[in-house]
Structure 1
Amino acid sequence: MGLIWLHPWRLIMAVAVALLLTVLLVRSRRMTWRWKLRCLVWPALATMFWAGAAAEPFLQVAPRTDHIVALLDLSAGARTAPWQNPQWLWTFLGRHLPAAMRVTVVGFGTQCQVLRRDVPLDNPGAWPKAWAVRSLSHAVFSRALAWNRSGLAHAPRWLFTAGLAPWPRLKLTSLPFTVALTLVRPTMVDAGITNLRALPSATGVTLVGTVRCTGKAQVMLQAYRNGLRIADQLLTFTQAGVRRVRIEDIPPDDHQTLDYRVKLVGADPWPQDNQAAILLAPAHPESVLIVTRHPGNWLVAMGPRHWRVVGPGAFPSTPRRLQRYQMVVLSNIPQALLPPRAAAILGDFVRHTGGGLLIAGSCCAFGPGGYALRWRVGTSGRPETTLESLSPLASVPPNRKPVRVIFLIDESGSMIDHVPGTAGQSEFNVATHAVLNAVAALHKTDRVKIFAFNGQTRLLLSATVGAIRRKIVSRLSAIVPTGATNPDSALPALKKVLRSGDILIVLTDGRIAKMNVPAWTRLILSRHIKLVVVAPLAPNSLLTHVAAATGALRFSTHQFRRWPAMLRTALQRELAGKARTTALSWHEEQGPLAGITHAWIEVYQKAGAKLLAGAIHGNHPLAAVWRLGLGHVAALAFSEKSVAYRHLLQRILQAIVPPPGNSDFVLSQRRMGRIWRVRVLARNARGFINGADLS
């Protein structure tokens, strides 16, 4: 332990004040000691104390003398350094340090790695024959000096380096240990590529790279695009340093993958870092499958000619047939028009193969397209995958309030007639299946009431969906249709239970002889009830007049087996977002694009989805993207014929289409007989690590 002054030159003032005090004390012999203390001694001592404090003294603790940390530079500039051999380091340290000293060897480049811990100098067998680490691109001295380990905070350091990296700005007090330095100039000059980036623009591609050299050298930089040489640059290094290079290129076609490779040509003893590669995806995907009912739509017109366009009926039936495409586009396709397992196939295509999926529509997708309905049941007994589960935009609000749905089912004697093409099922059985499918599309917290009417009305079930889902089949299957058809018998019961905003669904065969049209109209309009009528209605029937007077949603058909699909569509239209034709101003979420659309659908952003475009006024998301497994899915809920909309669509395609390769890891293979030759170009941190050929 010792006292050390950080600024010793400031002690000159203290020495000068001490000499002046001595002179004044000698000349003031006649003055009293009280006067001397008050006027001379105390001011002088205060000045000397201030000067000593300004010199910043501190106590230095003696470091441990039984342990030392050897910091080895393992960058490319130190490849020829003698410490690359552990035996040389043992010999060198043994000549300068006591035999009882223990050494911890730490290699550094861009990161630090402990090569050996607590190796004794008096035991040469404990030292390895070679270090178990590869050479790194460049050295960072601040990382090496910041390395610390419990118990070695004050242990001295011995730094072995080639000195080709900038030294950090340090103060004496910032290092709690002493540092010994050994500098070795490289015997052979090495040049290598440490960084390469591609910057696409509207006019072309700019390659920006970094070349590092360990001494005086002259090398030729060659750039290739898809095997064609596009540029040559002569780089002259008068001393060790770093040079930034910039290459401009204008590709002839924006529909192909760009494979850029940069090479250094020259006398270089280490060619492993003399090349780098980067891949750029084309502006448009190379292989796209568009599923649409209108082959001449906007998406087909903007894409290349080799994009494949099919109708909903020609959708691939297996996931293997989709693997040839990079992306699948569903353009204004209702879910009912696709094959039963289309959503499941698309889910496997995105999750497991990394494909892209774009769900676009402005009138027949999302809510109007029935994306949220789970009405098909798979072989496992669970509802099959829907397009709603794949899309980042939801058709139904994710946290909507529970709704109340009242079913009014006709159980009169006319409902016992058999329905053709249903294996002998009656009209009432078909109505039962329609109710089951409708309840399956509701949330567990939604409340359901089921009434049955003939000459009189009775309440069959009343509870939440989660509580009565299993009871519906047993209660409805026990009913035997009989009696007359009198819907007016349900008016007293409905007046007691109907509330504002309820959904009333009427299922009947339409054979109604008597009905109080004014009373039904007043009830529906005064309570603001959403009426849905599923029945074969004649133009002048009483139920038709009620539906027309109340603005009800009518599904009129004599094919009773279509009732389940009609009821699904009815609930979807009432609960999901509607298709709109009003003017809506939109803008890109993180960009300058904006416009006005007259065809859009009400959708809702899901948690975890990234918003791409939305309405300027109001909370109306219009485009979003999210990651699903290995791939990405984007949703676009509006259309417009403008340049801004085309640019937005191009950015969406680039966001979801998987690139043909990763610029940080480029793999090339070639078959030679029965042997595959594989070459890997990988980048770690800011430097390339190019391995040898693998067979």
Structure 2
Amino acid sequence: MSRVLFVYPVLLVLIPLALVAAVVWRRWLGGALTLATVLCLVVALARPQWATEVRRTARVYALDTSGSMFLDTPKALAALRRSMAELAPDDLVGLVAFGASAATVLPPTSPRLLADRLAPPAELPRPDGTDIAEALRVAARQLPPAGYDRQVVLLSDGRETAGNAELEAALAADGGVRVLAIPVGPAEVADARVALLRAPARVRVGEPFSLEAELASTAHIEATLAITRDGAEAAPPRRVALEPGIPRRVALADKFTAPGLHRYAASLLVADRCAENNTAEAIVRAEGATRVLYLAPGKPALAQVLAAQAGMDVTPLGPGSPQALGTALAGADCLVLEGVPAAELPAPAQQAIRDWVRDTGAGLIALGGPAAYGPGGYAGTPIEEALPVLCVRPQKLALLVALDRSGSMADAVKGRTKIACAREAVLACVAALREGDSFGLLAFAAEPQSVVPLGPRPDPERLAQQLQAIAPHGPTELAPALEQALRQLAEATAQLRHVILVSDGQVTDAQAEALRAAAFRKRFADAAVSVSALMTGRDDKAAALLADIAGPGFRPIEDPADLRGEFLEALRQTTNRAFIQTGRTPVRPGARLMLAEGIAPGHLQGYVRTVAKPTAATEWLAGNPPDPILARWQFGLGRAVAFASTVGTEWDQALWAGDALGRLWAQAVRWAARPPAVPGFEAEVVEHGDQMQVTVRAERDGSYLNGLDLTARIAPPTLGPPAVAGEARPGSPPGGPQEVALRQTAPGEYQATFAAPIRGPYHVTIIERGAAPGGPRGGSLLLTVSAVRSYSREWEAFGVDRAALAAIARSWRGELLTSLDDLARVAPGRAAGHMDVDWVFCLTALALFVADVAHRVARARRMRL
């Protein structure tokens, strides 16, 4: 049925206004032609359209590219291209690809433009899931709102892992969209998988328990089952024969001799269609004493002292194994870092330590020394975020190199000249300078020459050219060079001032006599300039003089090739000098003692300067103004302790009296360590596809605890095994740690569900809000449980689910087809079409206007006659 519609019908109110105006101002508007012209223009402004029925199709193909499809993408696109080409030129066609999410590959366009626009996408959605509902939603949004028979062609195996496709198809049908489903997928898949690895969440140390691996297969397959604990073999591999549709269960008995958290994996070694589902994992927590993880690059000085304390189980670990660290952290209550440089802890490991303390209520103790709190230490790292102190930031350095260019520097040692090795050392040293440092270069023989005036770091290429231009020639005059170096550095404004003098000696008796070493040593000290003297020759006179001037900064160099390392070592020691306080320094107690209560401190021979954070409690102080030696604070749900000196070296020998060392650190570990679970509370985490459900049961004295305000804080995987291809990768979990509120579902029972998109272990900390006003974030930590998310549901079943596809296509005018060829017999439905006819009224108004003008001209001529 055809009819006239108006895009802007409100403008039609101008018609009666025009009629009224014609009556009132008839004299000025003229006759009927003028009125008709005005009426036609008003109708044209209202955008009249001629409504009719059309048979045009707008079709979006939704192609399932998930892992269970085993799709040959180029072949599938070729088949789609042939199907799209069968549409009429006035039709529209588009393409959406979907897996765990959906993405538009081709927005609706004319079939005539397919050759230019339909190409294999650069990146497909993640294959570890199937969200058919999202695909239908995205495809329906791509279709034009009217004027076409709107269709979504779903090509899938129907095995959805997320969303509700039936509901989404019904919503699309309500909007006038037809869903045509076509079964696509492998007919038969010969695959074996580890369906489940059952294990208890918690056991006691020494208590026997059993694990059970459940295996499944779609065909007659023989495979080898391997079960590991923390990456090591837990039992000899065994051969298993699997039958289709018959689950096979394999049990393993085990027990623990020490507390901790252990990660089991059951893996099938088999050549089957899908490798992603050949491994399942489980986590078992062994409960007992306080579990202390001790991380040290060398021999752990304090580990034996802590291990001797009652109720402590200490596990030493080297910093070079991030994956072992990730599992060990989850099973520990406290981590001790003894002199571990930040460079030996990868960034993901540092982030994992910070999050573990903050989000699970564990403890961190960092024993100091230059490697921890000095340059190259924890400054600006996630470890510093967790500690109660800030590492002192580097001070500005003015460095001047005095380079001997006398003739003897051209001598070769092991095939390289001394001057060439010195040039290389200078370039390496300049590259190690920080932003804001100053650098100068003197070249001296008979007279010193300023090659690079003391100032900002020079350009490396320009400096290399200047060094290359230094040619060895002449005698060695040390005194003028030292004089000029002292003069330049005395005028520098940097907090640290240092000169590195490089020479091979070769001085005469007269030159040695002119060099007044004692006077130079005093003048350098008075000007606060430190000296490093690197001697590449074997001149005893020069060696004695330079050793007198530089003191501990003097180093004889046998091989000039070692100059590069000696330059960098001199630079490191110079910058360290600003951080390290050496010499006998008394230690005094602070105002609020908890860790050091009842322990009288002695004195230190060295420590690293740090700055206490505003909310930290400083228990021991040294120096004036005071520097924190022992500090503690609350960090999120956890606690951290910082000690600015070393343990077991000459620095701290005089600090401890009697058993003070063991007492203090035992108290520190007990204060910082994660508290034991609160009696009366139990929790479990169960995997449900890409989600996990945490259940907490609470009772006390035989009565259920109701009305609790419980929150679960979830720490996602950060240092787990590599992800399966196509899955979200560990190390960068979406959104990081998350919190969910638990709601009461039964007497004494609380539940919550959270997304688990990443494979690996999830550690869930249960917090009771408002239970301890002075506690962490106004809540009380109850307990921590762990569970592992294994492979995605995408890899659990294969083949076409026709019943699911039929249910999806059951919506309004939907249909389950057998192949793409069946689309040719799907007649396009009738759709409401609209044809603009405003141009008719515009042309009519123009014709009437011309006629009106002609009529007025003719009438004017008649009146003149």
TM-score, L = length of structure 1: 0.46
Higher relative contact order (CA 8 A, sep 6+): 2
